[in-house]
Amino acid sequence: MAQRTHIRFILDGEVVNVHDIAPTVTLLEYLREKLGRTGTKEGCAEGDCGACTVVIGEPAAGKISYRAINSCIRFLPTLDGKEIVTVENLKAADGGLHPVQQAMVDHHASQCGFCTPGFVMSLFGLYLNETAPQREDVVRALSGNLCRCTGYRPIIDAGCRMNDYAHPASWSRTYARDTKRYEALQAIAATDTVSLGGGAGYCAPVSIDELARLCADNPQALLLAGGTDVGLWVTKQLRDLPMLIYTGNVAELKSVREGGNAIEIGAAVSLTDAYAAIVARYPMLAELAERFGSPPVRNSGTLGGNVANGSPIGDSMPFMLALGVTVKLRRAGGEREMPLEDFYLGYQKKALQPGEFVEAVRIPLSPAGRRFASYKISKRFDQDISALCGAYAFDLDNGRIAKVRIAYGGMAAVPKRALQTEAALTGQPWSRAAMEAALPALALDYAPLSDMRASAGYRMQVAQNLLLRFFAEHSGKPVPTRVTELEEH
Protein backbone atom coordinates (compact mmCIF):
# COMPACT_ATOMS: atom_id res chain seq x y z
CA MET A 1 0.00 0.00 0.00
CA ALA A 2 1.40 3.38 -1.07
CA GLN A 3 2.06 5.72 1.82
CA ARG A 4 2.31 9.49 2.14
CA THR A 5 4.16 11.20 4.99
CA HIS A 6 2.43 14.58 4.81
CA ILE A 7 -1.10 15.95 4.71
CA ARG A 8 -2.61 18.44 2.29
CA PHE A 9 -5.67 20.62 2.30
CA ILE A 10 -7.03 23.70 0.54
CA LEU A 11 -6.91 27.11 2.24
CA ASP A 12 -7.44 30.43 0.47
CA GLY A 13 -7.95 28.49 -2.74
CA GLU A 14 -4.45 27.01 -2.60
CA VAL A 15 -3.20 23.55 -1.72
CA VAL A 16 -1.26 23.56 1.56
CA ASN A 17 1.18 20.72 2.24
CA VAL A 18 2.07 20.14 5.88
CA HIS A 19 5.04 18.00 6.90
CA ASP A 20 6.30 17.01 10.33
CA ILE A 21 3.06 17.70 12.18
CA ALA A 22 2.28 16.04 15.49
CA PRO A 23 -0.82 13.79 15.21
CA THR A 24 -2.67 15.53 18.05
CA VAL A 25 -2.17 19.14 16.95
CA THR A 26 -5.67 20.56 16.67
CA LEU A 27 -6.87 22.60 13.74
CA LEU A 28 -7.38 25.51 16.13
CA GLU A 29 -3.75 25.36 17.28
CA TYR A 30 -2.49 25.27 13.71
CA LEU A 31 -4.65 28.17 12.56
CA ARG A 32 -3.73 30.44 15.45
CA GLU A 33 -0.12 29.51 16.20
CA LYS A 34 1.22 28.53 12.79
CA LEU A 35 -0.85 30.67 10.44
CA GLY A 36 -1.71 33.62 12.67
CA ARG A 37 -5.41 33.30 11.92
CA THR A 38 -6.58 34.57 15.27
CA GLY A 39 -10.17 35.19 14.19
CA THR A 40 -10.82 31.60 15.26
CA LYS A 41 -10.93 31.66 19.06
CA GLU A 42 -10.39 29.18 21.86
CA GLY A 43 -13.11 29.34 24.46
CA CYS A 44 -13.90 26.03 26.13
CA ALA A 45 -11.44 23.75 24.26
CA GLU A 46 -14.00 20.96 24.39
CA GLY A 47 -16.41 21.62 21.52
CA ASP A 48 -19.14 23.33 23.52
CA CYS A 49 -18.99 27.11 23.16
CA GLY A 50 -18.56 27.46 19.39
CA ALA A 51 -15.94 30.22 19.48
CA CYS A 52 -13.64 28.01 17.41
CA THR A 53 -16.15 27.23 14.64
CA VAL A 54 -14.82 26.89 11.10
CA VAL A 55 -16.37 25.41 7.97
CA ILE A 56 -14.96 22.36 6.22
CA GLY A 57 -15.58 21.42 2.59
CA GLU A 58 -15.23 18.04 0.90
CA PRO A 59 -16.53 16.49 -2.33
CA ALA A 60 -19.92 14.80 -2.09
CA ALA A 61 -22.37 13.80 -4.83
CA GLY A 62 -20.89 16.03 -7.51
CA LYS A 63 -20.57 19.16 -5.40
CA ILE A 64 -18.72 20.39 -2.33
CA SER A 65 -20.40 19.70 0.99
CA TYR A 66 -19.70 22.50 3.47
CA ARG A 67 -20.27 21.94 7.18
CA ALA A 68 -19.38 23.74 10.40
CA ILE A 69 -17.11 21.94 12.88
CA ASN A 70 -15.35 22.69 16.16
CA SER A 71 -11.67 23.28 15.36
CA CYS A 72 -10.61 23.08 19.02
CA ILE A 73 -11.02 19.29 19.23
CA ARG A 74 -10.45 18.29 15.60
CA PHE A 75 -6.93 16.98 14.99
CA LEU A 76 -5.31 18.62 11.97
CA PRO A 77 -4.26 15.38 10.20
CA THR A 78 -7.95 14.40 9.88
CA LEU A 79 -8.45 17.40 7.57
CA ASP A 80 -6.28 15.81 4.89
CA GLY A 81 -7.96 16.17 1.49
CA LYS A 82 -10.47 18.78 2.64
CA GLU A 83 -10.97 22.54 2.34
CA ILE A 84 -10.71 24.72 5.43
CA VAL A 85 -12.68 27.96 5.58
CA THR A 86 -12.01 30.43 8.40
CA VAL A 87 -13.65 33.75 9.18
CA GLU A 88 -10.76 35.51 7.42
CA ASN A 89 -11.84 33.86 4.15
CA LEU A 90 -15.19 35.62 4.14
CA LYS A 91 -13.70 39.00 3.33
CA ALA A 92 -14.42 40.07 -0.26
CA ALA A 93 -11.65 41.08 -2.63
CA ASP A 94 -12.60 44.75 -2.15
CA GLY A 95 -12.52 44.37 1.62
CA GLY A 96 -16.30 44.32 1.96
CA LEU A 97 -18.24 42.15 4.36
CA HIS A 98 -19.99 38.91 3.53
CA PRO A 99 -23.81 39.07 3.79
CA VAL A 100 -23.65 37.07 7.02
CA GLN A 101 -21.25 39.59 8.53
CA GLN A 102 -23.18 42.59 7.23
CA ALA A 103 -26.41 41.23 8.67
CA MET A 104 -24.72 40.83 12.05
CA VAL A 105 -23.57 44.45 11.93
CA ASP A 106 -26.88 45.87 10.71
CA HIS A 107 -28.89 44.02 13.36
CA HIS A 108 -26.50 44.89 16.21
CA ALA A 109 -25.86 41.18 16.72
CA SER A 110 -22.20 41.34 17.67
CA GLN A 111 -21.09 39.69 20.89
CA CYS A 112 -18.31 41.04 23.08
CA GLY A 113 -16.13 40.16 20.09
CA PHE A 114 -14.58 36.96 21.32
CA CYS A 115 -17.42 34.65 20.22
CA THR A 116 -18.70 36.66 17.27
CA PRO A 117 -16.55 34.93 14.60
CA GLY A 118 -17.89 31.55 15.68
CA PHE A 119 -21.47 32.77 15.28
CA VAL A 120 -20.59 34.14 11.87
CA MET A 121 -19.11 30.81 10.75
CA SER A 122 -22.10 28.81 11.98
CA LEU A 123 -24.42 31.13 10.06
CA PHE A 124 -22.08 30.97 7.07
CA GLY A 125 -22.42 27.20 7.01
CA LEU A 126 -26.20 27.64 7.04
CA TYR A 127 -25.94 30.30 4.31
CA LEU A 128 -24.18 27.87 1.98
CA ASN A 129 -26.67 25.06 2.58
CA GLU A 130 -30.08 26.76 2.87
CA THR A 131 -31.42 29.19 0.27
CA ALA A 132 -34.24 30.45 2.50
CA PRO A 133 -33.60 29.45 6.12
CA GLN A 134 -36.47 29.90 8.57
CA ARG A 135 -36.14 31.02 12.17
CA GLU A 136 -36.03 27.43 13.41
CA ASP A 137 -33.19 26.69 10.97
CA VAL A 138 -31.21 29.61 12.36
CA VAL A 139 -31.82 28.58 15.96
CA ARG A 140 -30.77 25.04 15.15
CA ALA A 141 -27.60 26.19 13.36
CA LEU A 142 -26.60 28.33 16.37
CA SER A 143 -27.30 25.69 19.02
CA GLY A 144 -23.56 25.00 19.28
CA ASN A 145 -22.68 28.65 19.92
CA LEU A 146 -23.40 29.04 23.61
CA CYS A 147 -22.26 32.58 24.41
CA ARG A 148 -25.08 35.07 23.99
CA CYS A 149 -23.93 37.90 26.22
CA THR A 150 -25.91 40.43 24.18
CA GLY A 151 -28.99 38.27 23.82
CA TYR A 152 -30.51 35.81 21.37
CA ARG A 153 -32.82 38.02 19.35
CA PRO A 154 -30.43 40.19 17.32
CA ILE A 155 -28.28 37.20 16.36
CA ILE A 156 -31.31 35.23 15.22
CA ASP A 157 -32.60 38.29 13.36
CA ALA A 158 -29.29 38.54 11.52
CA GLY A 159 -29.49 34.89 10.51
CA CYS A 160 -33.05 35.31 9.27
CA ARG A 161 -32.15 38.38 7.19
CA MET A 162 -28.73 37.44 5.80
CA ASN A 163 -30.37 36.40 2.53
CA ASP A 164 -31.66 39.93 1.95
CA TYR A 165 -28.21 41.04 0.83
CA ALA A 166 -26.71 40.68 -2.63
CA HIS A 167 -24.77 37.48 -3.05
CA PRO A 168 -21.02 38.12 -3.27
CA ALA A 169 -18.96 36.96 -6.23
CA SER A 170 -16.99 34.83 -3.82
CA TRP A 171 -18.70 32.58 -1.30
CA SER A 172 -22.11 32.70 -2.95
CA ARG A 173 -24.27 29.61 -2.78
CA THR A 174 -22.98 28.57 -6.20
CA TYR A 175 -19.59 28.21 -4.53
CA ALA A 176 -20.50 24.68 -3.51
CA ARG A 177 -20.78 23.84 -7.20
CA ASP A 178 -17.61 25.64 -8.27
CA THR A 179 -16.15 23.24 -10.81
CA LYS A 180 -12.54 24.28 -10.42
CA ARG A 181 -12.63 24.08 -6.65
CA TYR A 182 -14.41 20.73 -6.78
CA GLU A 183 -11.76 19.39 -9.15
CA ALA A 184 -9.02 20.78 -6.89
CA LEU A 185 -10.49 18.86 -3.95
CA GLN A 186 -10.82 15.73 -6.04
CA ALA A 187 -7.16 16.06 -6.97
CA ILE A 188 -6.02 15.97 -3.32
CA ALA A 189 -8.51 13.33 -2.16
CA ALA A 190 -6.85 10.63 -0.08
CA THR A 191 -6.00 7.66 -2.29
CA ASP A 192 -3.06 6.38 -0.26
CA THR A 193 -2.40 5.72 3.41
CA VAL A 194 -1.16 8.73 5.35
CA SER A 195 1.57 7.78 7.84
CA LEU A 196 2.88 10.49 10.14
CA GLY A 197 5.58 10.43 12.77
CA GLY A 198 5.50 12.48 15.93
CA GLY A 199 4.09 11.24 19.19
CA ALA A 200 3.30 7.55 18.95
CA GLY A 201 2.42 7.85 15.26
CA TYR A 202 -0.64 8.29 13.06
CA CYS A 203 -2.00 6.27 10.15
CA ALA A 204 -5.02 6.98 7.96
CA PRO A 205 -5.76 4.00 5.69
CA VAL A 206 -8.10 4.20 2.71
CA SER A 207 -9.34 0.60 2.58
CA ILE A 208 -10.94 -1.65 5.16
CA ASP A 209 -8.38 -4.38 4.53
CA GLU A 210 -5.53 -1.98 5.26
CA LEU A 211 -7.37 -0.79 8.37
CA ALA A 212 -7.73 -4.38 9.56
CA ARG A 213 -4.04 -5.04 8.93
CA LEU A 214 -2.99 -1.92 10.83
CA CYS A 215 -5.22 -2.84 13.77
CA ALA A 216 -3.80 -6.37 13.82
CA ASP A 217 -0.20 -5.13 13.69
CA ASN A 218 -0.86 -2.42 16.30
CA PRO A 219 -3.37 -3.78 18.84
CA GLN A 220 -2.38 -1.03 21.29
CA ALA A 221 -3.42 1.69 18.81
CA LEU A 222 -6.41 3.95 19.38
CA LEU A 223 -9.01 4.17 16.61
CA LEU A 224 -9.94 7.78 15.86
CA ALA A 225 -13.10 8.89 14.10
CA GLY A 226 -14.49 12.42 14.61
CA GLY A 227 -12.50 13.08 17.77
CA THR A 228 -15.42 14.70 19.59
CA ASP A 229 -14.49 12.66 22.65
CA VAL A 230 -10.84 11.76 22.01
CA GLY A 231 -10.03 15.41 21.33
CA LEU A 232 -10.88 16.26 24.93
CA TRP A 233 -8.41 13.68 26.18
CA VAL A 234 -5.73 15.96 24.76
CA THR A 235 -7.19 19.44 25.29
CA LYS A 236 -8.66 18.89 28.77
CA GLN A 237 -6.92 15.86 30.25
CA LEU A 238 -3.52 16.56 28.64
CA ARG A 239 -3.06 12.89 27.91
CA ASP A 240 -0.36 11.41 25.69
CA LEU A 241 -2.18 9.20 23.22
CA PRO A 242 -0.95 5.92 21.74
CA MET A 243 -0.66 5.44 18.01
CA LEU A 244 -3.74 6.79 16.24
CA ILE A 245 -5.47 4.99 13.37
CA TYR A 246 -7.95 7.28 11.65
CA THR A 247 -11.06 5.67 10.13
CA GLY A 248 -12.44 8.67 8.24
CA ASN A 249 -10.73 7.88 4.91
CA VAL A 250 -11.96 4.28 4.67
CA ALA A 251 -14.59 4.29 1.94
CA GLU A 252 -16.23 1.05 3.10
CA LEU A 253 -16.97 2.61 6.49
CA LYS A 254 -18.67 5.72 5.05
CA SER A 255 -21.70 4.17 3.39
CA VAL A 256 -25.36 4.02 4.39
CA ARG A 257 -27.27 1.10 2.88
CA GLU A 258 -30.81 -0.17 3.31
CA GLY A 259 -31.68 -3.78 2.61
CA GLY A 260 -32.74 -6.96 4.31
CA ASN A 261 -35.29 -4.96 6.33
CA ALA A 262 -32.53 -2.98 8.05
CA ILE A 263 -30.45 0.16 7.70
CA GLU A 264 -26.71 -0.51 7.75
CA ILE A 265 -24.62 2.50 8.74
CA GLY A 266 -20.85 2.37 8.36
CA ALA A 267 -18.75 3.20 11.41
CA ALA A 268 -17.27 6.34 9.83
CA VAL A 269 -20.59 7.90 8.78
CA SER A 270 -21.06 11.23 10.52
CA LEU A 271 -23.80 11.62 13.09
CA THR A 272 -25.40 14.20 10.79
CA ASP A 273 -25.74 11.73 7.93
CA ALA A 274 -26.47 8.74 10.15
CA TYR A 275 -29.35 10.44 11.93
CA ALA A 276 -30.72 11.75 8.63
CA ALA A 277 -31.05 8.14 7.45
CA ILE A 278 -32.48 6.98 10.78
CA VAL A 279 -35.02 9.81 11.12
CA ALA A 280 -36.22 9.15 7.56
CA ARG A 281 -37.41 5.75 8.84
CA TYR A 282 -38.03 6.72 12.46
CA PRO A 283 -39.38 10.30 12.39
CA MET A 284 -40.17 10.12 16.11
CA LEU A 285 -36.40 10.36 16.72
CA ALA A 286 -36.12 13.81 15.10
CA GLU A 287 -35.94 15.67 18.42
CA LEU A 288 -33.35 13.27 19.83
CA ALA A 289 -31.27 13.74 16.67
CA GLU A 290 -31.38 17.53 16.97
CA ARG A 291 -30.47 17.41 20.65
CA PHE A 292 -27.45 15.16 20.17
CA GLY A 293 -24.61 17.61 20.74
CA SER A 294 -24.75 20.46 18.23
CA PRO A 295 -24.44 20.71 14.43
CA PRO A 296 -20.62 21.07 14.61
CA VAL A 297 -20.40 18.06 16.92
CA ARG A 298 -22.68 15.96 14.72
CA ASN A 299 -20.74 17.01 11.61
CA SER A 300 -17.51 15.60 13.08
CA GLY A 301 -18.66 12.78 15.34
CA THR A 302 -19.76 9.38 14.02
CA LEU A 303 -22.46 6.94 15.04
CA GLY A 304 -19.89 4.14 15.01
CA GLY A 305 -17.69 6.13 17.34
CA ASN A 306 -20.60 6.72 19.69
CA VAL A 307 -21.24 2.97 19.80
CA ALA A 308 -17.57 2.01 20.18
CA ASN A 309 -17.04 4.61 22.89
CA GLY A 310 -19.67 2.90 25.01
CA SER A 311 -20.43 5.89 27.23
CA PRO A 312 -23.17 5.11 29.78
CA ILE A 313 -24.81 8.40 28.80
CA GLY A 314 -24.50 8.10 25.01
CA ASP A 315 -27.85 9.16 23.57
CA SER A 316 -27.81 6.75 20.61
CA MET A 317 -27.60 3.51 22.53
CA PRO A 318 -30.98 3.42 24.35
CA PHE A 319 -33.04 3.66 21.17
CA MET A 320 -30.77 1.17 19.41
CA LEU A 321 -31.08 -1.28 22.30
CA ALA A 322 -34.86 -0.90 22.18
CA LEU A 323 -34.88 -1.61 18.45
CA GLY A 324 -32.59 -4.64 18.69
CA VAL A 325 -29.64 -3.21 16.77
CA THR A 326 -26.67 -5.44 15.97
CA VAL A 327 -23.05 -4.39 15.48
CA LYS A 328 -20.78 -5.76 12.76
CA LEU A 329 -17.24 -6.30 13.99
CA ARG A 330 -14.18 -6.90 11.83
CA ARG A 331 -10.55 -7.84 12.18
CA ALA A 332 -7.87 -9.27 9.94
CA GLY A 333 -9.03 -12.82 10.68
CA GLY A 334 -12.66 -12.28 9.70
CA GLU A 335 -15.88 -10.63 10.83
CA ARG A 336 -18.81 -11.32 13.12
CA GLU A 337 -22.08 -9.75 14.22
CA MET A 338 -23.60 -9.49 17.69
CA PRO A 339 -26.52 -7.79 19.44
CA LEU A 340 -25.60 -4.37 20.75
CA GLU A 341 -26.64 -5.40 24.27
CA ASP A 342 -23.92 -8.07 24.27
CA PHE A 343 -21.27 -5.60 23.11
CA TYR A 344 -21.04 -3.80 26.47
CA LEU A 345 -19.44 -5.89 29.20
CA GLY A 346 -19.02 -3.17 31.83
CA TYR A 347 -17.97 0.42 32.24
CA GLN A 348 -15.71 1.22 29.26
CA LYS A 349 -15.40 -2.52 28.54
CA LYS A 350 -16.46 -3.85 25.16
CA ALA A 351 -16.54 -7.34 23.67
CA LEU A 352 -13.74 -6.51 21.22
CA GLN A 353 -10.95 -8.93 20.51
CA PRO A 354 -7.40 -7.60 19.95
CA GLY A 355 -7.23 -5.83 16.60
CA GLU A 356 -11.03 -5.87 16.18
CA PHE A 357 -13.10 -2.79 15.37
CA VAL A 358 -16.70 -1.76 14.71
CA GLU A 359 -17.42 -1.93 11.00
CA ALA A 360 -21.11 -0.96 10.96
CA VAL A 361 -24.36 -0.98 12.89
CA ARG A 362 -27.51 -2.64 11.55
CA ILE A 363 -30.76 -0.98 12.61
CA PRO A 364 -33.82 -3.17 11.93
CA LEU A 365 -36.92 -1.56 10.52
CA SER A 366 -39.91 -1.82 12.84
CA PRO A 367 -42.94 -3.92 11.99
CA ALA A 368 -46.22 -2.18 11.33
CA GLY A 369 -48.05 -1.11 14.46
CA ARG A 370 -45.05 -0.93 16.76
CA ARG A 371 -45.18 1.83 19.35
CA PHE A 372 -41.76 3.37 19.71
CA ALA A 373 -40.18 6.52 21.18
CA SER A 374 -37.07 7.82 22.91
CA TYR A 375 -36.79 10.72 25.37
CA LYS A 376 -33.77 12.67 26.52
CA ILE A 377 -33.75 14.47 29.88
CA SER A 378 -31.10 17.12 30.51
CA LYS A 379 -30.74 20.43 32.31
CA ARG A 380 -30.49 22.36 29.05
CA PHE A 381 -32.49 21.65 25.90
CA ASP A 382 -29.66 22.15 23.40
CA GLN A 383 -26.16 20.69 23.55
CA ASP A 384 -26.25 19.12 26.97
CA ILE A 385 -25.28 15.74 28.34
CA SER A 386 -28.20 13.55 29.40
CA ALA A 387 -29.12 13.03 32.99
CA LEU A 388 -30.86 10.00 31.56
CA CYS A 389 -32.28 8.87 28.23
CA GLY A 390 -35.03 6.29 27.82
CA ALA A 391 -36.30 4.32 24.83
CA TYR A 392 -39.41 2.13 24.48
CA ALA A 393 -40.60 -0.31 21.81
CA PHE A 394 -43.93 -2.12 22.32
CA ASP A 395 -45.66 -4.63 20.03
CA LEU A 396 -49.32 -5.37 20.86
CA ASP A 397 -51.54 -8.34 20.07
CA ASN A 398 -55.27 -8.04 20.71
CA GLY A 399 -54.79 -5.30 23.28
CA ARG A 400 -52.02 -7.08 25.17
CA ILE A 401 -48.29 -6.45 25.24
CA ALA A 402 -46.81 -9.21 23.11
CA LYS A 403 -43.24 -7.94 22.99
CA VAL A 404 -41.48 -5.08 24.74
CA ARG A 405 -37.95 -3.72 24.84
CA ILE A 406 -37.03 -0.88 27.22
CA ALA A 407 -33.58 0.64 27.57
CA TYR A 408 -32.01 3.52 29.49
CA GLY A 409 -28.79 5.44 29.41
CA GLY A 410 -27.48 7.25 32.49
CA MET A 411 -28.95 4.66 34.84
CA ALA A 412 -26.06 2.18 34.98
CA ALA A 413 -22.39 1.77 34.09
CA VAL A 414 -23.44 0.95 30.53
CA PRO A 415 -26.52 1.61 28.41
CA LYS A 416 -28.78 -1.24 29.48
CA ARG A 417 -32.11 -2.91 28.84
CA ALA A 418 -34.69 -3.08 31.63
CA LEU A 419 -35.16 -6.85 31.52
CA GLN A 420 -37.10 -7.13 34.78
CA THR A 421 -39.50 -4.38 33.73
CA GLU A 422 -39.93 -5.97 30.31
CA ALA A 423 -40.83 -9.28 31.96
CA ALA A 424 -43.33 -7.55 34.22
CA LEU A 425 -45.07 -6.00 31.22
CA THR A 426 -45.01 -8.89 28.75
CA GLY A 427 -48.46 -10.44 28.38
CA GLN A 428 -50.15 -7.67 30.35
CA PRO A 429 -52.97 -5.54 28.94
CA TRP A 430 -52.00 -2.26 27.29
CA SER A 431 -53.22 -0.07 30.15
CA ARG A 432 -51.98 2.56 32.55
CA ALA A 433 -52.62 0.17 35.41
CA ALA A 434 -50.18 -2.32 33.89
CA MET A 435 -47.60 0.41 33.46
CA GLU A 436 -47.94 1.55 37.05
CA ALA A 437 -47.73 -2.02 38.32
CA ALA A 438 -44.44 -2.51 36.46
CA LEU A 439 -42.77 0.66 37.76
CA PRO A 440 -41.22 -0.96 40.88
CA ALA A 441 -39.37 -3.40 38.60
CA LEU A 442 -37.18 -0.55 37.37
CA ALA A 443 -35.52 -0.55 40.79
CA LEU A 444 -34.57 -4.20 40.14
CA ASP A 445 -33.06 -3.30 36.78
CA TYR A 446 -31.07 -0.23 37.84
CA ALA A 447 -29.26 1.25 40.81
CA PRO A 448 -28.44 4.74 39.48
CA LEU A 449 -25.74 6.97 40.93
CA SER A 450 -25.93 10.56 42.09
CA ASP A 451 -23.64 12.99 40.30
CA MET A 452 -23.51 16.57 39.09
CA ARG A 453 -26.25 15.96 36.54
CA ALA A 454 -28.87 14.33 38.76
CA SER A 455 -29.43 12.46 41.99
CA ALA A 456 -30.14 8.74 42.07
CA GLY A 457 -33.66 9.40 43.33
CA TYR A 458 -34.36 11.89 40.55
CA ARG A 459 -33.13 9.49 37.90
CA MET A 460 -35.33 6.65 39.16
CA GLN A 461 -38.41 8.84 39.45
CA VAL A 462 -37.92 10.31 35.98
CA ALA A 463 -37.26 6.86 34.48
CA GLN A 464 -40.60 5.72 35.89
CA ASN A 465 -42.36 8.87 34.72
CA LEU A 466 -40.99 8.47 31.20
CA LEU A 467 -42.59 5.05 30.95
CA LEU A 468 -45.91 6.63 31.93
CA ARG A 469 -45.30 9.43 29.45
CA PHE A 470 -44.74 6.86 26.72
CA PHE A 471 -48.05 5.21 27.51
CA ALA A 472 -49.85 8.57 27.62
CA GLU A 473 -48.52 9.51 24.19
CA HIS A 474 -49.30 6.13 22.61
CA SER A 475 -52.56 5.17 24.33
CA GLY A 476 -54.90 6.29 21.59
CA LYS A 477 -56.06 9.20 23.73
CA PRO A 478 -52.81 11.07 24.19
CA VAL A 479 -52.53 13.91 26.65
CA PRO A 480 -50.07 16.80 26.35
CA THR A 481 -46.77 15.88 27.99
CA ARG A 482 -44.52 18.72 26.88
CA VAL A 483 -44.55 22.49 26.74
CA THR A 484 -44.70 23.77 23.18
CA GLU A 485 -43.19 27.04 22.11
CA LEU A 486 -45.71 29.83 21.76
CA GLU A 487 -46.00 31.24 18.28
CA GLU A 488 -44.71 34.74 17.88
CA HIS A 489 -47.23 37.27 16.74
pLDDT of residue 91: 84
pLDDT in tens, 9-64: 999 999 999 999 999 999 999 999 999 999 999 999 999 999 999 999 999 888 89
Confidence of residue 484 (pLDDT cuts 50, 70, 90): very low
State the SS3 of 415-434.
CEECHHHHHHHCCCECCHHH
Among the listed residues 113, 47, 125, 45, the one whose alpha carbon sits nearest the alpha carbon of residue 85 = 125
User: Contact 124/98 with Cβ under 8 angstroms?
Assistant: yes
* CA separation for the pair 206, 246 (Å, rounded): 9
At residue 77, does pLDDT exceed 80? yes
**Coil vs helix vs strand at 229:** coil
Of 41-55, 103-117, 250-264, least confident by mean pLDDT is 103-117
Contacts 24+ apart (CB under 8 A), 88-92: 88/37, 88/39, 89/11, 89/12, 89/171, 90/120, 90/124, 90/171, 92/168, 92/169, 92/170
What is the per-residue pLDDT for 170? 66
pLDDT tens, 280-312? Answer: 999 999 999 999 999 999 999 999 999 999 888
Range with the lowest mean pLDDT among 164-178, 264-278, 323-337?
164-178
Contact criterion met (CB below 8 Å) for 302 and 272: no
* Contact between 280 and 297 (Cβ < 8 Å): no
Distance CA 227, CA 308 (A): 12
352 pLDDT band, cuts 50/70/90, is: very high
CA–centroid distance for 425 within its chain: 33
The residue that leads in pLDDT, 173 or 410, is 410
Q: Is the pLDDT reported for residue 86 higher than 60?
A: yes
Nearest partner of 165 among 108, 73, 217, 102, judged by Cα: 102
Residue 444 or 348, more confident: 444
User: 428 or 176: whose pLDDT is higher?
Assistant: 428
**Strand 193-196, strand 14-19: pairing:** unpaired
DSSP line for 434-460: HHHHHGGGHHHH--PPP-SS--HHHHH
| CA 153/CA 257 separation, integer angstroms | 41
- Tell me: pLDDT of 483 over 60: no
What's phi and psi for 306, nearest 5 deg? -65, -40
- Across the range 356-385, mean pLDDT stands at 95
Helix (H, G, I), strand (E, B) or coil at 203: strand
Which pLDDT score, from 0 to 100, does residue 478 have?
A: 59
Query: What local confidence, expressed as pLDDT, does residue 487 receive?
Result: 41
CA distances from 153 to 110, 117, 158, 161, 350 (A): 11, 17, 9, 12, 45
State the pLDDT confidence band at 175, using cuts at 50, 70 and 90: low
Amino acid at 195: S
Q: What is the pLDDT of residue 485?
A: 45
Q: What is the pLDDT of residue 486?
A: 40
State the DSSP code for 486.
P
N-term to C-term CA, the chain = 62
User: Which is nearest to 438 in space by CA: 449, 427, 448?
Assistant: 427
Q: Which domains does the chain have, with CATH numbers?
A: 3-187 (3.10.20.30), 193-251 (3.30.43.10), 254-473 (3.30.390.50)
pLDDT at 362 over 90: yes
pLDDT of 416? 96
Predicted confidence at residue 147, as pLDDT, reads 80
The rounded percent of the chain whose pLDDT value lies above 90 is 84
Hey, is 63 helix, strand or coil?
strand
Segment 177-199, tens digit of pLDDT: 788 889 999 999 999 999 998 88
Q: Which of 88-102, 386-400, 423-437 has the lowest mean pLDDT?
A: 88-102
pLDDT > 70 in the chain, percent:
95
Provide the β-strand partners of residue 285: none
Per-chain mean pLDDT for the chain: 93
